[in-house]
Chain A
Amino acid sequence: MNRNTAAWLLTAPALIPVLILFFGGFGLGILQSFSFFPLIGLDTPNFSAYTEVLAEDELLLSLVLTLLVSLSATFLTIALAVTAALALRSAERGRRGILFLFQFPITVPHVIIALGALLLLSQSGFAARLTAFFGIISDSTDFPVLVNDRLGLGIIYVYLWKQIPFIGIIALSVLQSMGNDYEELARSLGAKQSQVLFHVILPLMRPALLPGSVLCFAFTFGSYEVPFLLGRSYPSMLPVLVYRYFTNFNLVQRPLAMALAVLITLFLLVTVILYKKFLGGRNRL
């Protein structure tokens, strides 16, 4: 058996379910987005679902909100994860304990932390009680609206809580494997702290942080659980909008859901390809 055959045989058990379920599902979704859905009596393919979805007022607002949330969550995640990794790298006292605590969010499901954020950040939540206790606010309405808010702040908070440790651990592993040599060399040549950071450490970390940041962006762009709990009903983030179409009692709305799902997928694919093209370097994604 030659090596090609062996490799394909090894990957087949993973490829088959992904091809059938994932790409099959995607293909069926595309068919349904063209209103081809014989099961409910739609048997003439057309573009009407796309024209109807694109004419929807909420779509543009929803896209802007989704981009705002996913881009700011991704950039803040990277900035804070790198900061945390730099601090953790040289921590001595209590390092194991802090590291353990830092790993904790990786294992906590989004649902839990979304609910925790709701009980922490709402206007009668724990943070509002704390600020009232210290006399900073006098009435619960003085507390800023941080959940179910216009800008998706609560949603961003949850994604940061979940993702900073994930990217942070990756950053930490890069820092550890690269050692101190480059930094010391730069410093011995007279570089300032900020120059070492921006011209030595960050460029060395960049290739390792890119794939993780793509994962974060795609996840925050396309997942439903968190914005469902912490978002507003209008405009809602794209995944919530899609699900609303999908669960509409009127099955004729199904093609609309599929059309929007196809558009979201295309948008993500194009974004990932562009991202890779301009920033990717030798990374595979």
Chain B
Amino acid sequence: MTVLKRIILLGLVIGVILPMIPLFVWAFSGSWFYPSLLPQSLSLRSWSYVFHPGSRILEALFNSFFIAASVTILSLIVGVPAGKAIGMYRFKGKTIVEIILLSPALIPSMTVTMGMQVLFIRYGLSETLMGVILVHLIPTIPYMTVSMSAVFSHFDISFEEQARSLGAKSLSTFRHVTLPAVFPGMVVGAMFSFLISWGQYVLTLMVGGGRIVTLPLLLYSFAVSGDNSLVGALSLVFIIPSLVILVLSSRFLTGESSGMGGFGGV
């Protein structure tokens, strides 16, 4: 049994790392012809392109970050109250509210955005950052709502009442009582929101019309043109926020934390 367990864990480690290896090696390769296991020459060519002011990568990096950060903040603003209502209260029409808020996770956003595109063009949202932020927001709402309703469903409202009866103002009740209790859900919800937006390709392309350049758009165009070194380098740049987010949110992403608990009970 323990041998089997070791094999499974080893397989897991290798399975996760293996597809990252070629990206990493290509990022620093000059030429790397088949069937050589190691590159023939190393080069920083793709990196000097990445940091060259003339490339659109810095612009794309800024756009991607600005869009994902805005989406995350908006998602928190709309998702935290909704999660509170769903997690803590029983009310008329609750099932309908849940179905509405969860449906963007089940119905592909792409098919809906196709219908929306006409509206976006008419109201001048097409090819704008605002338009891209709005379409990215939609698929994040279910994940934020689920994470938040899970933590709120474990939250005891009497804590708030006790704090208030001891003389705490509503702001300090929120800061010292409610916020610490629901923080794991906010971290997980924010993480999903940021990453859904950060990795988005087709929605950005449809609404941004190629005008709003983000990292995934550049990555796809390099991939289609077959420049593996550039694909590797840009992938590593692209993955930095993932690593930062993972380090920051790792402890909320485990089985012990209630942050992920909601996805078991959707």
Contacts and interface: CB of A to CB of B under 8 A. Distances in A.
Interface of A: 3-4, 6-8, 10-11, 13-15, 17-19, 21-32, 37, 39, 83-84, 87-88, 90-91, 98-113, 115-120, 124-130, 132-133, 140, 161, 165-166, 169-170, 172-177, 193, 207-209, 211-212, 214-215, 218-219, 221-225, 228-229, 239, 242-243, 246, 257-258, 261-262, 264-265, 268-269, 272, 283-285
Contacts of A215: 105-106, 263, 266
B112 A105 contact: no
18 contacts: A13-B77, A14-B79, A24-B119, A25-B115, A25-B119, A29-B111, A101-B16, A109-B199, A115-B231, A119-B228, A119-B232, A125-B22, A129-B34, A173-B256, A215-B106, A239-B110, A246-B114, A284-B266
Given A18-B141, A29-B111, A11 B19 contact: no
B134 A21 contact: yes
A161 B16 contact: yes
Interface string B239-253: 100110110001001
Interface string B84-118: 11100111111101101111111111111111101
Interface in B219-243: 219-220, 223, 228, 231-232, 235, 238-239, 242-243
Contacts of A221: 108
Contacts of A118: 223
A115 B1 CA distance: 36
Given A91-B5, A98-B9, 20 more contacts: A11-B82, A19-B100, A21-B112, A98-B12, A99-B254, A101-B12, A112-B238, A119-B26, A169-B260, A208-B265, A214-B266, A224-B108, A225-B199, A239-B108, A242-B111, A261-B110, A261-B114, A262-B111, A284-B95, A284-B265
B114 A170 contact: no
B115 A224 contact: no
Nearest to A172: B255
Given A10-B82, A115-B219, A224-B201, A132 B111 contact: no
B114 A29 contact: yes
A193 B4 CA distance: 14
A8 B93 contact: yes
Contacts of A129: 34-37
B177 interface: no
Contacts of B34: 124, 128-129, 132, 140
Contacts of A31: 115
Interface residues of B, number: 95
B107 A269 contact: yes
B253 to A, nearest CB: 5
Chain A at the B interface: mostly helix, strand, loop or mixed?
helix
Nearest to B122: A39
Chain B at the A interface: mostly helix, strand, loop or mixed?
helix
B124 interface: no
A258 B110 CA distance: 11
Contacts of A103: 246, 250, 253-254
A55 B154 CA distance: 52
A104 to B, nearest CB: 6
Contacts of A6: 85, 89
Given A98-B9, A112-B23, A264-B108, A173 B255 contact: yes
B8 A285 contact: no
B191 interface: yes
Q: Give the most central of B12, B232, B235, B239: most A CB within 10 Å.
A: B12
A211 B106 CA distance: 11
A179 B201 CA distance: 42
A243 B110 contact: yes
Nearest to B228: A119
A137 to B, nearest CB: 9
B114 A258 contact: yes
Given A84-B12, A119-B231, A28 B104 contact: no
A263 to B, nearest CB: 10
Contact of B260 (A30, A170, A285): A170
B199 A119 contact: no
Contacts of B30: none
A19 B100 CA distance: 8
